[in-house]
A and B are shown apart, each in its own frame.
Chain A
Amino acid sequence: MSKPRRERRSVLAVEAVGPYSLLRVERGGVDPGVPGQFFMLEAPGRVLPRPMSLCLAPRGELGFLLDAIGPGTQALAALEPGDALHVFGPLGNGFRLDVSRPLLVGGGIGIAPLPFLSEALEHPPALLGFRSEWHAEAAALLPNATVVIDPVLVTDALPRDREVLACGPEPMLDAVRAICPDAQLAWEAPMACGYGACYGCVVEIDGEMKRLCVEGPVLCSS
């Protein structure tokens, strides 16, 4: 596993993808890691960094997909080319890539790690759910995607004969898990440190507290 590094890197661009923002940062000596791993991004003017899974890893770049809904993500989305921020990662456990017949399942901003994952698995089919056509513009980030729009849910269209790798809101992950108990699921929680120091990011899964930053964010329930 690659060793996490913390480096101050320059912003190359912030591009709109539907309502989301794609933050493209110069990669420097930072390893992109495995799809599903995440990075702590310094959010200018905020006390804590923000955990973001890697969305795209073109040569020399790290790309992060953000939904600017709070002060931290808004500060990140307001960065301009040439601004610098600390990037710390890769952190946590990513998706296992030894899968046959994979299906990528994403909901909303939870599609963030899937473009990088899609590339690593040579573009398997993906099933993505969004709340509007505008949000669904983000589906263009990965090829071979089928899109459903609310009120249709990804679980309405989920085939049963696939190895599922999913990321999305908690109710979606719970619903996916109920249908596909072996699915690899990428969870989310508020985090402070990202490296196992603070015990802040626990989630309760099947009655057990898991520190998402070091035991996840990708967990396989079975």
Chain B
Amino acid sequence: MQLLNASGCLDALTAPEVASTFDAFVTKTVTPERREGNPPVRIAETDHGMLNAIGLANPGRDAFLEVTLPRLASMIDRPLWVSVGGFSVRDYVETCEQLTRSEVACIELNLSCPNVDEAPASAAEIVRACREVAGKPLYAKVSPHSWDMGETVRAVEAAGADGVSMVNTLRGAALDARLRPTLARGTGGYSGPALKPVVLAAVLAARRATTLPIVAMGGVQTGRDALELIACGATHVALGTVLFTDPGAATRVRAELAAEATRIGFDRPEDAFGAALESVVNVAN
């Protein structure tokens, strides 16, 4: 079981000491062109979560490869996962082709950002095209909006994905006191504690559909949360929103996870893998 950060939630060049607390560091999404991101306001807290509309702010592929990636490689003594985004199959393919450095352990295809307007091609189509050119393991990061997570996961697996990351944020909105959307963009990605039941259900459905590794994320605040995801069939867990409250969350969650597993009677957290699936009763439609 590896503990990762959720893509977009941590800038390792600004906070390398936080990035180094993870087993691997996942970059913010890289797109072909530089993106300033969305205009402010980009952040809104809600009662049980938060909305963001950052809009994939990033330096663009060339600057990422020439400047950001070498700096990350020298500053972070951890395997790097590069999150790749785009607006066409070609966008993804051309970035994957160039991710050849040995420090890049994995490519996570961001197939599910709710904060950009352009609809990407179908997830499976992107995975299939990237698989042909990428020299690294490919993880498909999928949206929680999928009605049938099992079908989504089977499709990206058939296209050649080596693993699945789930889930990205849910699309959401919040209104201010005068009934105007709080975020300048109107809507954003909803994350935080409110997402946990959504992710548990997504991982349960995905694990019934595949034996691929699953990086599970969404609302993890404690070791108990991480253990629940492992019990649903996650092989790895990522932390996102909790990092904004607690930059030391990785170290804390790791310790809590070990203690909680022991308390319930497992020697190691991994021993709880799939425990929740065993007791699910299959009901005929």
Q: Please give the residue numbers on chain A whose beta carbons come within 8 Å of chain B beta carbons, in ascending order.
A: 6, 42, 46-49, 71-72, 86, 88, 189-204, 209, 214
Contacts and interface: CB of A to CB of B under 8 A. Distances in A.
Given A47-B48, A47-B49, A47-B192, A202 B37 contact: yes
Given A47-B245, A48-B244, A88-B247, A198 B43 contact: yes
B170 to A, nearest CB: 15
A193 B43 CA distance: 10
A190 B49 contact: no
Given A196-B11, A203-B40, A48 B50 contact: yes
B243 A197 contact: yes
B50 A192 contact: yes
Given A47-B193, A196-B14, A202 B244 contact: no
Question: What 9 A-B pairs have minimum CB-CB distances, sorted nearest first?
Answer: A196-B14, A200-B43, A193-B244, A192-B244, A190-B43, A197-B10, A48-B45, A47-B192, A200-B42
24 contacts: A6-B246, A47-B46, A47-B48, A47-B50, A47-B192, A48-B45, A48-B245, A71-B47, A189-B40, A190-B41, A192-B52, A192-B241, A192-B244, A193-B243, A193-B244, A195-B247, A197-B10, A197-B11, A198-B8, A198-B9, A198-B11, A198-B43, A198-B52, A199-B57
Given A195-B15, A197-B18, 18 more contacts: A6-B246, A47-B47, A47-B48, A47-B192, A71-B47, A189-B40, A192-B50, A197-B15, A197-B243, A197-B247, A199-B11, A199-B28, A199-B54, A199-B57, A200-B42, A200-B43, A202-B42, A202-B57
A195 B14 contact: yes
Nearest to B36: A209
Contacts of A197: 9-11, 14-15, 18, 243-244, 247
Interface string B16-48: 001000000000100000001101111111111
Contacts of A88: 247
Contacts of B18: 195, 197
A203 B184 CA distance: 12
B197 interface: no
A49 B244 contact: yes
Contacts, number: 92
A203 B48 CA distance: 25
A199 B248 contact: no
Interface residue tally on B, bucketed by range = 20 to 34
A204 B36 CA distance: 11
B238 to A, nearest CB: 14
Interface of B: 8-11, 14-15, 18, 28, 36-37, 39-50, 52, 54, 57, 192-193, 241, 243-248
Contacts of B246: 6, 86
Contacts of A72: 45
Contacts of B10: 197
A199 B18 CA distance: 16
B45 A191 contact: no
B54 A198 contact: yes
Contact of B44 (A46, A86, A190): A190
B245 A209 contact: no
Contacts of A198: 8-9, 11, 43, 52, 54, 244
Contacts of B54: 198-200
Nearest to B19: A197
A200 B14 contact: no
Contacts of B42: 190, 199-202
Contacts of A191: 43
Contacts of B244: 48-49, 192-194, 197-198
Given A47-B48, A198-B9, A198-B43, A214 B14 contact: yes
A192 to B, nearest CB: 4
Residue among A88, A194, A202, A204 with the highest chain B CB neighbour number at 10 A: A202
Contacts of B57: 199, 202, 209
A197 B37 CA distance: 15
A142 B236 CA distance: 53
A71 B57 CA distance: 29
Among A86, A193, A201, the one with the most B-chain Cβ atoms within 10 Å of its Cβ is A193
